Amino acid sequence: MDIFKLINEYREKNINLIVVTAVKKSGSGPVEVGKKMICLPNGSSIGTVGGGAIEYYAQKKARLCLERKESLLETYVLDEGKVYPEATTLPMVCGGMVTLFYEYIGPKATIYIFGAGHVGQALVNVLKTMNFHITVIDERKEVIEKFEKADRKVNTGFVDYIEKDEIKDGDFIIVCTPSHKYDYHVINKIIEKKIKPKYLGMLCSPDKIKDYLKSTYETFGKDIDLSFFYSPIGLDTGGMTPEEIAISISSEILVVLNAKEGHKHMREILDGQDCYWKD
């Protein structure tokens, strides 16, 4: 089994995983240094780090690391009668000690961009300098064929794509289609399907967002949760070009992803002039 080939295949499919590696061993135990095990989001695993209680515990710990998207180094005592500081004792009788490294492999976030126009392209140019998996959706074949750098390019209707249930809770979504009508259709479909993205941003002027919010509250009710909705999109950095807007949106995504506070979001400014360039 070529475990590194498997890792690359899962990365290309945007499947997050944990690679558990035995990096140190002393005394007796069923573990060999260098042995690896892949743990997947569906709970399955490939490979082994020794079997028995240590492998069961490693699979359990890997699921936690996957949820947190973090790597971890832990040491285990393979003797339930012994206790060592900074080590976890497992119900085994081998008597040795083993250190496992849990390596998270996957993007910081999965990002969907609806609209392959100038802002969408500028966004990908910025975001692909970081560890994000980016899918771009556009129904205009001639536009998306010229698009560069995205991990996936999907030529289909904007709402049709959402109907496929590919977008998950916690994902990041940017809506910058060639028409506000399409923008509204995308966002309404996300709300209708009760998807809870970490971030949903729409390229829109302050005047347009007022009209959209009024219509949305009339359709879905005043109690609808729009805490994840950012429009006008981006941080208040100034600038009207696609490249400047891309910096503003990318910065806002990082603020949300890293749970930072104190920044001035454009969604806090619901009056004034239209400051966004539109595809």
Q: Which domains does the chain have, with CATH numbers?
A: 3-105 (no CATH), 109-268 (3.40.50.720)
Distance between CA atoms of 262 and 138, rounded to whole angstroms? 34
Q: Is the pLDDT of residue 254 over 60?
A: yes
- pLDDT confidence of residue 240: 87
Of all residues in the chain, the percent with pLDDT exceeding 90 is 70
Q: Is the pLDDT of residue 14 over 50?
A: yes
Contact of 107 with 152, CB cutoff 8 Å: no
Contacts of 109 (CB under 8 A, 6+ apart): 132, 133, 171, 172, 198, 253, 257
The lowest-confidence range among 24-28, 81-85, 160-164, 208-212 is: 81-85
Taking only the tens place, the pLDDT of each residue in 79-132 is 877 777 788 888 878 878 899 999 999 999 999 999 999 999 999 999 999 999
- pLDDT confidence of residue 275: 35
- pLDDT confidence of residue 272: 42
* Cα 26 from chain centroid (whole Å): 38
pTM: 0.84
